[in-house]
Amino acid sequence: MASDQDLVVETVREILHGHEPFVLTAERSWDEGLWAALADAGLTGVGLPEEAGGSGGELADAVAVVRTLAAGAGAVPVAEQLLVAGPALVAADLDLPSPDEPLTVAFEGTVAAEPSDDGDGPGRFVLTGTATDVPWAGVARHVAVLATPPAGIEGAVLAVVDASGLTASRAVNLAGEPRGSLVLDGVGVPGALLDPARAAQLRARYALARAVQISAALQQVLAWTVQYAGERVQFGRPLGKFQAIQMELAQMAGEVTATAALVDAAVQALGRGEETLPLAAAAAKVRAGEAVERVAKLAHQVHGAIGFTQEHRLHHLTRRCWSWRDEAGSELTWSRTLGAALVAAGPDDVWPAFTAVV
Amino acid sequence: MTTDQLTLAPAPPSEAAERVRLEVRQFLAEELAAGSFSTHVDTWLSGVDPEFSRKLGARGWLGMTWPKEYGGHERTAQERYAVTEELLAAGAPVAAHWIADRQSGPNLLRYGTEAQRKEILPRIAAGECYFVIGMSEPDSGSDLASIRTRATRNADGDFVVNGAKVWTSNAHHSHYAIVLVRTGPPGEGPRGKHQGLTQLLVDLSLPGIAINPIRILDGGHHFNEVVFSDVVVPGDMLLGTEGAGWHQVTAELAFERSGPERFLSTWPLLAEFGRRAAATQDPAQLATLGRLSSRALALRQLSLRIAAALDRGELPDIPAALVKDVGTTFEQDVVDEVRRVADVPASLDSPDPLGRALAEAQLHAPGYTLRGGTNEILKGIVARGLGLR
């Protein structure tokens, strides 16, 4: 429900109007023009506090920006910046880079952090290792890295890396979005120690951000598919008049609506505080990933052969959804986490644990 | 736009609901410990226990949202939601009062006369008065408007009812039926047959009513055929407006289709499976528990939103149809998914409680996606909400 966010949604839509999605390539791996327009409008700092250099506003505003860009297949690291890396740096009292420059996250890989002895005092670490599956690697100017802490310390080190001097290996997801690796060769950076709970909450934030994107994209896919079924005529009737097609569209609507309800509830859990977030985010990510399976399949089925081409817009969202469900933890990863948590309270207490999730 | 009719505002968090939830949990733990009931699957169909229903009534957990002047407790839809989902999750015997509390009472509140409300609602809230749904007929299932049960007015202004209703759950334990009858001719056009339908409040002890059992797959007697032969129903037992039966039924179905019983019928199986996964710590079982739970959590959020919308006086019939379609599909999938990762043969005689729960859930499974409107009909309603028909 975005009633308070209507203005922000409208602004993002107007900007998107001048930046149609395109097929991402090695030469053009993100939408720099879209990013510049968003940054000019202050939208790349929404939800981040003004005193930290952000544009201010609520979590709901940031979610509205992310949802609108996801539905518009905007090739920019806004979800990473507004919902994950930005809030994490602020919460850890680390300096937020200028929101005008893209900031991303690196939570996978083999990066180890050791306290720095460069004489700059506490809060500095040396990072060594390879960060993998880095969204927008090579595009983002800064990276919030989650690294293994020094021996004997639990949790993780959150550090901010200036990526301008680093080379990113080229790898892309199914939608062509950069997902390469970054080699960190003893880089000295500011960082903060996160206890295990905060580290888990940060990973959950990333999962929830992807779930928010998926939910918004699937709602758009449904709308496109309903629209197409109303326009495409075969046997003298629009496709949408055939009962078989109606059943498929209703099934899509069920998936999309159920997913949106859970993702919204998980976002509200995040808004209330992060303690209850990990399981709510886990459930939302699993549900969203499952919805991708059925909704994308049926959307392509209804669209027919034209939807199977790069000429048609559908792939901008279906290819992204097929990737986003894998990223930040797949359904398998998070469903194991959720299942283990539900039985952790005791064999007879699955139901109380269930009702406490969200 | 297309999906607006499916979107509802989130339900506000409710501390009162969490308080009553804990009271119900405590009550259920005590009743289970005292052996007053045992957990089963799908108990809102099969678990008839008038004594248990009266206990719930005495605690103020029936008719919860109704005005106090009718025996209700003026509590919120979220509080009622918490109570009902706790009862369902525990597999408690709630079938006796379920229909009366869920839809007949709200129907009477909406359309009943003052005399009808004063006479009947306090008894429902006390857990003493039970209702059945008189909609489906032998030749009218999904095509509800084609019903043939007729009522004609006699010289005294009473209704004389002839016809038969089927799948009337627990009619042999119930006091009233709300019967959809044809009182006038259908109109012209494709929706013309929606005209001339009327709801009557029928006392099941009236002369001329025969209640014949219909057994379901596990041999259980819950369904009945109820035959009306020149049954004289007093004229003041008209419910609502003569000829407005179709509209009234549509409103009733929003209550019937959106509650937690549309995705929790097989929760007791999932809970039993959770016990197994807790013992084995098998990653595949834990993943299945997590995946099924995420689906149930999504349904719960949707269902809560509809409860809040009903509380606001809205009629979210399209989201309600959607919840029932997705929810009952989930109820069936629980059986299939659990089987894939727990190698336990289903049998009602199994020494393993998981085997018994699987058997109960499997033998009841075909009903989940049929009762209250088949999922094909529900998808048609959702398609209408999408603007396709």
pLDDT tens readout for residues A109-164: 999 999 987 666 679 999 999 999 999 999 999 999 999 999 999 999 999 999 99
Nearest Cα to A82, choosing from A51, A52, A103? A103
Task: Tell me whether residue B26 is in a domain.
Answer: yes
Category of A60 on φ-ψ map: left (φ > 0), alpha (ψ -120 to 50) or beta: alpha
Residue A250 and residue A45: Cα distance in Å, rounded?
37
pLDDT tens readout for residues B347-359: 999 999 999 999 9
Question: Which tokens hold the place of B7?
Answer: 């979107």
CA distance A265 to chain B (A): 7
Residue B11 DSSP label: P
User: How many residue contacts between A and B have a Cβ separation below 8 Å?
Assistant: 173
Q: Phi, psi (5° rounding) for residue A234?
A: -140, 150
Instruction: Spell out the domains of chain A, with CATH numbers in brackets.
Output: 3-194 (2.40.110.10), 198-355 (1.20.140.10)
Residue A1, pLDDT > 60, answer no
Q: Residues B361, B276: one domain?
A: yes
Q: Note the pLDDT of residue B252.
A: 85
Nearest Cα to A170, choosing from A323, A29, A326, A330? A29
- Residue ranges of alpha helices (H) inside chain A are 6-17, 32-40, 59-71, 78-79, 86-91, 196-231, 243-272, 277-303, 314-324, 331-344, 350-355
Q: Note the pLDDT of residue B3.
A: 55
pLDDT tens readout for residues A191-202: 999 999 999 999
Give residue B190's pLDDT band: very low, low, confident or very high (50, 70, 90). Answer: confident
- Residue ranges of alpha helices (H) inside B220-316 are 245-258, 267-280, 283-311
| Residue B94, domain extent | 4-129
Task: Tell me whether residue B79 is in a domain.
Answer: yes
User: Residue B167: helix, strand or coil by DSSP?
Assistant: coil
Residue B160 DSSP label: E
Domain boundary among the residues B85, B103, B129 is at B129
Task: Tell me whether residue B342 is in a domain.
Answer: yes
Number of Cβ within a 10 Å radius of residue A343:
24
- The size of chain A, in residues, is 358
Q: Residues B274, B377: one domain?
A: yes
Q: Residues B169, B106: one domain?
A: no
Q: Residues B172, B268: one domain?
A: no
pLDDT tens readout for residues B214-258: 999 999 999 999 999 999 999 999 999 999 999 999 888 877 888
Residues of B in contact with A336 (CB under 8 A): 283, 286-287, 290
Task: Tell me whether residue B251 is in a domain.
Answer: no
Residue B209 and residue B202: Cα distance in Å, rounded?
10
Inter-chain contact A343–B278, Cβ cutoff 8 Å? yes
CA B316 to chain CA centroid, Å, is: 16
Task: Tell me whether residue B253 is in a domain.
Answer: no
Nearest Cα to A158, choosing from A96, A207, A217, A214? A96
Number of Cβ within a 10 Å radius of residue B369:
19
Q: Note the pLDDT of residue B1.
A: 36
- The CATH number of the domain holding residue B350 is 1.20.140.10
Q: Phi, psi (5° rounding) for residue B195?
A: -85, 155
- The CATH number of the domain holding residue B19 is 1.10.540.10
Inter-chain contact B294–A240, Cβ cutoff 8 Å? no
CA distance B119 to chain A (A): 37
Query: What pTM was estimated for this model as a whole?
Result: 0.96
Domain boundary among the residues B129, B154, B174 is at B129
The better pLDDT of the pair B317, B381 is held by B381
With an 8 Å Cβ cutoff, is B12 touching chain A? no
One-letter identity of residue A151: A
The residue behind tokens 């850890």 is A92
CA B180 to chain CA centroid, Å, is: 17
Q: Residues B35, B99: one domain?
A: yes
Number of domains chain B is built from:
3
Residue B168, pLDDT > 50, answer yes
pLDDT tens readout for residues B235-247: 999 999 999 999 9
With an 8 Å Cβ cutoff, is B380 touching chain A? yes
Put simply, the chain B residues between 19 and 38 with a CB less than 8 A from any chain A CB are 21, 25
Residues of B in contact with A261 (CB under 8 A): 10, 298, 301-302, 305
Q: Residues B139, B171: one domain?
A: yes
Task: Tell me whether residue B254 is in a domain.
Answer: no
Q: Residues B317, B303: one domain?
A: yes
Q: Residues B270, B363: one domain?
A: yes
Give residue A273's pLDDT band: very low, low, confident or very high (50, 70, 90). Answer: confident
Q: Phi, psi (5° rounding) for residue B224?
A: -145, 160
Q: Residues B78, B116: one domain?
A: yes
Q: Residues B277, B172: one domain?
A: no
Task: Tell me whether residue B122 is in a domain.
Answer: yes
Mutation for B interface: A246, A264, A290, most B CBs within 10 A? A246
Task: Tell me whether residue B176 is in a domain.
Answer: yes
pLDDT tens readout for residues A282-320: 999 999 999 999 999 999 999 999 999 999 999 999 999
pLDDT tens readout for residues B95-150: 999 999 999 999 999 999 999 999 999 999 999 999 999 999 999 999 999 999 99
Contact between B239 and B250 (Cβ < 8 Å): no
Q: Residues B113, B198: one domain?
A: no
Inter-chain contact A265–B10, Cβ cutoff 8 Å? yes
- The CATH number of the domain holding residue B139 is 2.40.110.10
If you average pLDDT over residues B156-169, what whole number do you get? 97
Which sign, positive or negative, has the C-alpha torsion A287, A290, A296, A298? negative
Give residue B4's pLDDT band: very low, low, confident or very high (50, 70, 90). Answer: low
CA distance B71 to chain A (A): 29
Q: Residues B158, B56: one domain?
A: no
Domain boundary among the residues B243, B273, B308 is at B243
With an 8 Å Cβ cutoff, is B77 touching chain A? no
